[in-house]
């Protein structure tokens, strides 16, 4: 593997470990011990657990013009101490940041300090179930399948065989997967890979990432006591948004939509994605990400398949200036063997 970090560390199998150096409390006699090292168990703070990579494009199927859904998100501990991924919520944008090829776009009210989200999936755990050591990663697969292999999907008369894609990824070793049981489209549950907890899903079928990357992603740490029901009851976004196209202007009530505002102080890391010719605005505001990551400049350019957006490594560290235009580059997925 090209990646120099142990990517497929299966945290679900491990008991949390407390690194020895972290057991020394900071005392006046021991002033060198940074204060946060006494803070065990350690939930990640902003910038400690980051989205290192997003593989939204999927891998082109040879001889076809579409791709496998071998999509994943990789979260990495960039701090110098173990953090726990428990109660980290993965969220996707509500605000649409693109304009169409005929120039139509949506306009929303300013959101000063928060993220307007709809899809929400939680890494489950009681606080110390999923240790992530410094430099290690957690992989969230949209489906934890080996996409190289043929497989059977659906049941009864809906059953069909999906051919394997020799160029695609083996995601069967992911740490977590999105599993969306529903009546309309089969999702596959890998019993060996823990499922994310669905807090809200906007799709009637299964959640996938937007293959052309016109979407934004963030991870937030949910405080103790918060639940999906509480967020939905207390944090609905309200106001009016507008659709503009030539001389046409329509207004809509945000209140009618499935959208909640995640407070800025919960946010660990946020990444906008887009394509240059479709870019209109960033769904996550400049306080969280002043730019956007991209795989290709032209929306739907077939060249985007097989490319992921990955943080650059600068001076041995993952770049995180909260400007994804500068921090990310399009590259071969790190899980490509």
Q: How far apart are CA 255 and CA 120, in angstroms?
A: 18
Q: Contact with Ca ion (CB under 5 A): which of 42, 115, 140, 143?
A: 143
Residue 195 or 282 having the CB closest to Ca ion: 195
Residue 108 or 179 having the CB closest to Ca ion: 179
Query: In whole angstroms, how close is the CB of 318 to Ca ion at the nearest point?
Result: 10
Q: Is 69 in the site for Ca ion (CB under 5 A)?
A: no
Q: Contact with Ca ion (CB under 5 A): which of 91, 193, 261, 293?
A: 193
Burial state string for 240-271 with b = 16 or more CB within 10 A and e = fewer than 16? ebeeeeeeeeeeeebeeeebbbbebebbbbbb
Query: In whole angstroms, how close is the CB of 181 to Ca ion at the nearest point?
Result: 9
Residue 136 or 269 having the CB closest to Ca ion: 269
Residue with CB nearest Ca ion? 143
Query: In whole angstroms, how close is the CB of 214 to Ca ion at the nearest point?
Result: 20
Provide the token pair at 4: 């120099």
Provide the token pair at 14: 């491990």
Residue 119 or 241 having the CB closest to Ca ion: 119
What region does 58 belong to: left with phi over 0, alpha with psi -120 to 50, or beta? Answer: left
Q: 3-state DSSP call for residue 310?
A: strand
Q: Is 320 in the site for Ca ion (CB under 5 A)?
A: yes
Q: How many residues bind Ca ion (CB under 5 A)?
A: 10
Q: Is 10 in the site for Ca ion (CB under 5 A)?
A: no
Q: How far apart are CA 292 and CA 306, in angstroms?
A: 19
Query: In whole angstroms, how close is the CB of 174 to Ca ion at the nearest point?
Result: 9
**Contacts of Ca ion in 255-314 (CB under 5 A):** 269
Residue given tokens 């906008």 in the structure block: 272
Q: How far apart are CA 302 and CA 322, in angstroms?
A: 28
Q: 3-state DSSP call for residue 62?
A: coil
Q: Contact with Ca ion (CB under 5 A): which of 11, 57, 212, 322?
A: 322
Residue 75 or 131 having the CB closest to Ca ion: 75
φ/ψ of 302, rounded to 5, equals -60, -20
Element (H, E) at 124: none
x/- binding map, residues 170-189, to Ca ion, per CB under 5 A?
A: --------x--------x-x
Provide the token pair at 311: 């943080």
Q: Is 70 in the site for Ca ion (CB under 5 A)?
A: no
Residue given tokens 């946060």 in the structure block: 36
Element (H, E) at 164: none
- Geometric angle at alpha carbon 311, from 49 and 64, rounded to 5°: 115
Q: Is 73 in the site for Ca ion (CB under 5 A)?
A: no
Query: In whole angstroms, how close is the CB of 98 to Ca ion at the nearest point?
Result: 22
Candidate segments 81-89, 143-151, 214-222, 233-241, binder of Ca ion by CB under 5 A: 143-151
Q: Is 212 in the site for Ca ion (CB under 5 A)?
A: no
How far, in whole angstroms, is CA 120 from its chain's centroid?
10
Residue 3 or 198 having the CB closest to Ca ion: 198
Residues that bind Ca ion (CB under 5 A): 143, 178, 187, 189-190, 193, 195, 269, 320, 322
């Amino acid at each position: 593997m090209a990646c120099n970090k142990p990517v497929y560390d299966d945290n679900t199998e491990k008991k949390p470990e407390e690194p020895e150096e972290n057991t020394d409390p900071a005392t006046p006699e021991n002033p060198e011990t940074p204060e946060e090292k006494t803070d065990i168990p350690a939930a990640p703070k902003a910038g400690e657990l980051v989205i290192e990579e997003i593989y939204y494009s999927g891998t082109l199927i040879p001889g076809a013009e579409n791709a496998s859904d071998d999509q994943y998100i990789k979260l990495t501990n960039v701090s110098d101490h173990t953090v726990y991924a428990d109660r980290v919520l993965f969220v996707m944008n509500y605000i649409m940041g693109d304009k169409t090829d005929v120039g139509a776009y949506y306009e929303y009210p300013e959101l000063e300090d928060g993220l307007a989200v709809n899809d929400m999936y939680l890494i489950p755990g009681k606080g110390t179930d999923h240790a992530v050591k410094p430099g290690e990663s957690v992989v969230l697969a949209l489906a934890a399948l080996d996409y190289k292999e043929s497989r059977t999907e659906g049941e009864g008369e809906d059953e069909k065989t999906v051919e394997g894609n020799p160029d695609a990824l083996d995601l069967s070793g992911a740490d977590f997967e999105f599993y969306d049981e529903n009546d309309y489209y089969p999702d596959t549950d890998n019993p060996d890979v823990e499922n994310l907890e669905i807090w809200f899903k906007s799709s009637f079928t299964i959640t996938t990432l937007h293959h052309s990357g016109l979407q934004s992603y963030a991870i937030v740490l949910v405080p103790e006591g918060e639940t999906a029901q509480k967020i939905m009851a207390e944090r609905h976004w309200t106001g009016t948004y507008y659709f503009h196209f030539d001389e046409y202007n329509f207004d809509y009530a945000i209140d009618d939509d499935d959208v909640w505002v995640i407070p800025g102080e919960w946010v660990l890391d946020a990444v906008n994605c887009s394509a240059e010719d479709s870019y209109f605005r960033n769904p996550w505001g400049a306080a969280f990400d002043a730019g956007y990551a991209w795989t290709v400049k032209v929306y739907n350019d077939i060249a985007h398949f097989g490319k992921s957006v990955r943080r650059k490594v600068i001076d041995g560290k993952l770049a995180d200036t909260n400007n994804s235009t500068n921090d990310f580059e399009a590259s071969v997925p790190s899980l490509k063997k």
